[in-house]
């Protein structure tokens, strides 16, 4: 005498009740399928995966999802910004660059003022 184990299913439905209800009904209906029908569905899923693989090979795309994930990780690393705060030398160089910019701005302003006073044309 073999005992049949029965499991409990807990589904939490969120969002649109019509859509989540349809999904829940489909999941529960799949649990009640006979083993033969489950095998037919699994065979169809396998067939679709094989067809998708053949199409990828036919168009020359032999990358897997893992390959794309690795490429994304590499690109994110390559494009990442350097976020370490500058040390004392870096801060001093930034200050020096700021003062140099202010000096250039002041000299350019003085030159423009001199041109206006002397009446020179541009």
- Find how far residue 28's CA is from the centre of its chain: 33
Confidence band (pLDDT; 50, 70, 90) for 78? confident
Using CA atoms, how far apart are residues 50 and 106, in angstroms rounded to an integer? Answer: 71
**What is the DSSP secondary-structure string of the chain?**
-PPPP---------S-HHHHHHHHHHHHHHHTS-HHHHHHHHHHHHHHHHHHHHHHHHTT----HHHHHHHHHHHHHHT----PPP-HHHHHHHHHHHHHHHHHHHHHHHHHHHHHHHT---
pLDDT at 18: 87
- The predicted model scores a pTM of 0.33
- The per-residue pLDDT of the chain, averaged, comes to 84
Q: Which residue, 37, 40, 35, 39, is CA-closest to 4? A: 35
Which structure tokens are listed for 58?
Answer: 């036919």
pLDDT at 105: 97
Mean pLDDT, range 33-61, rounded to an integer:
86
pLDDT tens track for 50-75? 998 888 888 888 788 888 999 999 99
Mean pLDDT, range 15-36, rounded to an integer:
80
Mean pLDDT, range 26-47, rounded to an integer:
83
Domain ranges of the chain: 13-78, 88-122
Using CA atoms, how far apart are residues 102 and 90, in angstroms rounded to an integer? Answer: 18
> Which is higher by pLDDT, 10 or 19?
19
């Amino acid at each position: 005498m073999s005992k049949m184990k029965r499991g409990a299913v807990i589904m939490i439905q969120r969002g649109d009740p019509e859509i989540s209800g349809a999904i829940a009904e489909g999941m529960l209906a799949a649990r009640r399928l006979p083993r033969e029908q489950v095998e037919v569905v699994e065979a169809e899923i396998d067939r679709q995966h094989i067809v998708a693989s053949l199409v990828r090979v036919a168009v020359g795309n032999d990358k897997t999802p893992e390959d794309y994930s690795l490429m994304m990780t590499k690109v994110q690393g390559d494009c990442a910004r350097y976020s370490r705060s500058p040390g004392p030398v870096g801060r001093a160089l930034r200050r020096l660059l700021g003062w140099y910019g202010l000096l250039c701005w002041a000299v350019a302003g003085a030159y423009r003022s001199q041109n206006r006073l002397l009446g020179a044309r541009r």
